[in-house]
Amino acid sequence: MVGTPFSSGHPLADRRADFAATMAAGAAWVDAAEVMSSALELAPDWAAGWYQLGDYFESACDAEAAATAWRKAIELEPGDPFGAGLKIDLQRAVPVVETMPTAFVETLFDQYAPRFEASLVGKLDYTGPDVIMRALTEVGFERASSAIDLGCGTGLMGEALRERCDWLGGYDVSQEMLKQAARKGIYDFLGKQDLCALEVSDLRYDLIVAADVFIYVGALERVIGWAANSLAPRGQVAFTVERGEAPLELRESRRFAHSEEYVLGVLRNAGFKYITLTDCVLRKDRGVDVKAFCVVASMEPLVSRFDRDGGEVVAA
């Protein structure tokens, strides 16, 4: 589960929760839910316990009971560090959530940080930085005076960029991920920042990148608007998104997918005229390739091919 350490502070409740987890490991979901419910009778203010109870009910195919438990978790922790609201939304025929709770993303990656690279690169065949660098090279990118890595994580994208940037900064919502990135010594600046709350300042960047990050942002209007107002002349924004059919699609993985039409619409509305889209596979999820596309966009042409094509380029 995602959340704070799985302890209620009540020894007997913790023992019952451990017993419930053992039952769940054997797929005895109804029994696990019953025992977990008895643990919560002893620790009724245990938000993480209510979230876990919801998961047990969901696995037991009791959607109504699961939603009730998740609502209790949100009531106790309004910031929703467990992502219970996303689980409730996924029960709807058409999910309506357009962004993720900041506390959920922060908690998720604070916990994930120590094993992030071993898991993402070693087990999931993650290729985000390579995909973005190839796409940038294709449109003529050579070097940036200043670049900002949104959702920099442990610095995988930064490692790919470092030799081609005079100044490189990174933002991430997770302090633990930032600690991992700082150890590499590749960033000139690192800051803790919710990407959904970026504010335009006097700083201007030649390059803004977001590798496999917008899947945790959801609706892109605000962050793309920020990028449009934060680019230097002839600057570029480059990012990857999971490919979806609907404009904005919350998946069972509790990540967002985006359609080409939606992404293009957001970019055009923000003033971007020169756009490339490149199909790619970012990583694997349970052994299956995650279909995605990489975007490079600018308001002014960077290389002559844009001039020949007379403006916008959309490449499959």
Structure confidence at residue 74 as a pLDDT band (50, 70, 90): very high
Structure confidence at residue 309 as a pLDDT band (50, 70, 90): very low
Q: What is the mean pLDDT of residues 267-291?
A: 92
pLDDT of residue 184: 96
Q: What is the mean pLDDT of residues 142-165?
A: 96
pLDDT of residue 311: 44
Q: Rounded to whole angstroms, how far apart are CA atoms 80 and 92?
A: 19
pLDDT of residue 5: 44
**Global pTM value:** 0.82
Measured in Å, how far apart are the chain's first and last C-alpha atoms?
38
Give the type of residue at 240: T
**Residue 267 near residue 224 (C-beta atoms within 8 A):** yes
pLDDT of residue 292: 95
**Residue 258 near residue 284 (C-beta atoms within 8 A):** no
Helix axes 175-184, 102-112, angle to 10 degrees: 50
pLDDT, tens digit (0-9, with 9 covering 90-100), for 237-270: 999 999 999 999 999 888 999 999 999 999 999 9
Percent of the chain beyond pLDDT 70?
Answer: 92
**Residue 259 near residue 293 (C-beta atoms within 8 A):** no
Residue 308 scores a pLDDT above 50? no
| Closest to 51 measured CA to CA, from 27, 25, 78, 72 | 72
Helix axes 47-59, 29-42, angle to 10 degrees: 160
DSSP structure string for 40-88 = HHH-TT-HHHHHHHHHHHHHTT-HHHHHHHHHHHHHH-TT-TT-HHHHH
Q: What is the mean pLDDT of residues 59-86?
A: 93
Structure confidence at residue 62 as a pLDDT band (50, 70, 90): very high
Number of neighbours of residue 112 by Cβ within 10 angstroms: 17
Structure confidence at residue 123 as a pLDDT band (50, 70, 90): confident
pLDDT of residue 302: 64
Residues of the chain with CATH 1.25.40.10: 11-97
Lowest mean pLDDT among 21-25, 186-190, 206-210: 21-25
Residue 129 scores a pLDDT above 70? yes
- pLDDT, mean over the chain: 89
pLDDT of residue 279: 94
Q: What is the mean pLDDT of residues 297-305?
A: 72
Residue 223 scores a pLDDT above 60? yes
Question: Quick one: fold of 118-309?
Answer: Rossmann fold (3.40.50)
Residues of the chain with CATH 3.40.50.150: 118-309
Q: What is the mean pLDDT of residues 121-127?
A: 81
Q: What is the mean pLDDT of residues 143-169?
A: 96
Structure confidence at residue 182 as a pLDDT band (50, 70, 90): very high
pLDDT of residue 125: 82
Residue 82 scores a pLDDT above 70? yes
Q: Structure tokens of 307?
A: 């001039």
pLDDT of residue 275: 95
Question: Quick one: fold of 11-97?
Answer: 1.25.40
| Closest to 1 measured CA to CA, from 111, 86, 76 | 111
